[in-house]
């Protein structure tokens, strides 16, 4: 049983109701208008100075403590997914084809309740808290929100904290650890060009299909032969297109698309350099086969790396809530755009377990039956509250 302070416990019912309101009205990235106005109204009722329309639909508010001190940023994301909900819940999505299947409905509710609790405690900390409700997490909206909202320099932020409810972690458990916790992701689009012809005379053509097949296999060497086996690196091909209906034509080109994910700083200066290795292997195979290639990278999220000191603050808060025995190790090869905050200011990102098979809340994130164990949510709000109080202790 989690240890929750009376201020948060008193709002447990409100927290669940808020989450259900958001759940019923999911909105896609940069379209979170209903959510934004609900959030802004709630924060204004707390007496906060609220700014709306940051990066289309983002909302931010600043809470002043009882004296000068550091500034802490607390962030929740707001967007839902283009997915038809199949939960059958009484508060299921009323927006056809859109669903809160990642738990961002819970994040908004949790941070609103944490804001209410922290407002009632403003005499207990110094400095300031910037609350950030960010649009479009699923498609890397953080950068735009940070830049347009001047979130990190007006006033300068000394630390940032966010959390994610996670169905793959049992309810009642929390994961918070230093170092990389969510993967960097770069999307690629490649075209391998050969010369078309008759499949009965391949020596008179240049076959891009065989080159592509070799490349798909060879690219797996990045993890197994090129990068330290302890540095997780995933190369996945999600789309491969060549030819038309005919089985006897050598096509002109093969189009490949996929993702490279890695749990470390993978830039050109890093020893791993996964993207540079990817291109070297592609270029080598094309040279060997007489084909040519175009390669385009579409960067998404950098690796989300927790600052050791910030992670320690959040870990101590988590231990005081769920106990040492319920802190579990976890890293994830999905992406998370809180990484944009974390690469600019010391940050910590925690996972709050919401998986409970008996309640049917153990479907993976992004599943049409994904649901959140609401009994785990007060601990999430309390985690924001206690981490903030510890970070801004007078
Ligand atoms: Zn998601
Ligand atoms: Zn998410």
pLDDT, one tens digit per residue, over 2-34 is 999 999 999 999 999 999 999 999 999 999 999
Query: What 3-state DSSP class applies to 185?
Result: strand
Cα 207 to chain center, whole Å? Answer: 40
Q: Which ligand is nearest to the CA of 138?
A: 1
User: What's the distance, Cα to Cα, between the start and end of the chain in Å?
Assistant: 30
Q: Provide the whole-model pTM.
A: 0.91
46/35 Cα distance (integer angstroms): 17
Q: How far is the CA of 16 from the centre of ligand 2 (A)?
A: 18
Q: Which residues hold their Cβ within 5 A of ligand 2, which is an ion? A: 102
Residue % of the chain over a pLDDT of 70? 100
Q: How far is the CA of 244 from the centre of ligand 1 (A)?
A: 34
The DSSP letter of residue 267 is S
Q: Which ligand is nearest to the CA of 337?
A: 2
Q: How far is the CA of 366 from the centre of ligand 1 (A)?
A: 6
Q: Which long-range contacts (CB under 8 A, 24 or more apart) does 95-99 make?
A: 95/25, 95/26, 95/27, 98/26, 98/27, 98/28, 99/26, 99/368, 99/370
Q: How far is the CA of 203 from the centre of ligand 2 (A)?
A: 50
- Whether the pLDDT of residue 1 is over 80: the answer is no
* pLDDT band at residue 299 using 50, 70 and 90 as cut-offs: confident
Strand partners, 100: none
List domains and CATH numbers for the chain.
6-180+303-391 (3.40.630.10), 184-299 (3.30.70.360)
pLDDT (0 to 100) of residue 225: 95
Q: How far is the CA of 136 from the centre of ligand 1 (A)?
A: 10
User: How many degrees, rounded to 5, is the angle at CA 317 between CA 314 and CA 322?
Assistant: 120
6/10 Cα distance (integer angstroms): 6
- Predicted confidence (pLDDT) per residue in 188-244, tens digit: 999 999 999 999 999 999 999 999 999 999 999 999 999 999 999 999 999 999 999
Residue % of the chain over a pLDDT of 90? 95
Strands 58-64 and 128-134: antiparallel
Residue with tokens 């609900």: 38
pLDDT (0 to 100) of residue 209: 98
pLDDT (0 to 100) of residue 27: 98
Q: Closest Cα to residue 3, out of 312, 375, 384, 319?
A: 319
Q: Which ligand is nearest to the CA of 106?
A: 2
Q: Which ligand is nearest to the CA of 338?
A: 2
- Whether the pLDDT of residue 294 is over 70: the answer is yes
pLDDT (0 to 100) of residue 394: 67
Q: Which ligand is nearest to the CA of 105?
A: 2
């Amino acid at each position: 049983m989690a240890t929750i302070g009376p201020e948060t416990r008193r709002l447990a019912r409100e927290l669940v109701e808020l989450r259900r309101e958001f759940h019923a009205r999911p909105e896609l990235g940069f379209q979170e208008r209903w959510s934004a106005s609900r959030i802004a109204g709630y924060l204004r009722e707390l007496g906060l100075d609220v700014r709306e329309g940051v990066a289309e639909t983002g909302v931010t508010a600043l809470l002043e403590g009882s004296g000068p001190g550091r500034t802490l940023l607390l962030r929740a994301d707001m967007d839902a997914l283009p997915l038809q909900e199949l939960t059958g819940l009484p508060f299921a999505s009323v927006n056809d084809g859109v669903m809160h299947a990642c738990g961002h409905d819970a994040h908004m509710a949790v941070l609103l309740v944490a804001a209410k609790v922290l407002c009632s405690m403003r005499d207990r900390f110094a400095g300031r808290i910037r609350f950030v409700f960010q649009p479009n997490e699923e498609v890397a909206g953080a950068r735009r929100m940070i830049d347009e909202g001047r979130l990190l320099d007006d006033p300068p932020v000394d630390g940032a904290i966010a959390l994610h409810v996670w169905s793959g972690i049992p309810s009642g458990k929390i994961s918070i650890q230093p170092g990389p916790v969510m993967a960097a992701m770069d999307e690629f689009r490649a075209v391998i060009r050969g010369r078309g012809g008759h499949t009965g005379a391949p020596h008179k053509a240049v076959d891009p299909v065989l080159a592509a097949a070799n490349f798909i296999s060879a690219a797996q060497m990045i993890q197994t032969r090129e990068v330290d086996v302890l540095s997780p690196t995933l190369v996945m091909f999600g789309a491969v297109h060549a030819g038309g209906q005919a089985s006897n034509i050598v096509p002109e080109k093969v189009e490949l698309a996929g993702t490279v994910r890695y749990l470390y700083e993978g830039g050109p200066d890093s020893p791993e350099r996964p993207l540079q290795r990817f291109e070297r292997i592609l270029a080598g195979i094309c040279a060997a086969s007489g084909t040519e290639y175009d390669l385009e990278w579409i960067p998404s999220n950098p690796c989300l790396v927790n600052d050791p000191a910030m992670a320690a603050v959040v870990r101590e808060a988590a231990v005081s809530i769920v106990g040492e025995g319920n802190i579990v190790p976890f890293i994830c090869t999905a992406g998370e755009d809180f990484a944009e905050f974390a690469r600019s200011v010391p940050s910590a990102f925690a996972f709050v377990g919401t998986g409970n098979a008996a309640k049917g809340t153990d479907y993976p994130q992004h599943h049409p039956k994904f649901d959140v164990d609401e009994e785990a949510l007060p601990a999430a709000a309390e985690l924001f509250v206690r981490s903030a109080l510890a970070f801004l202790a007078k």
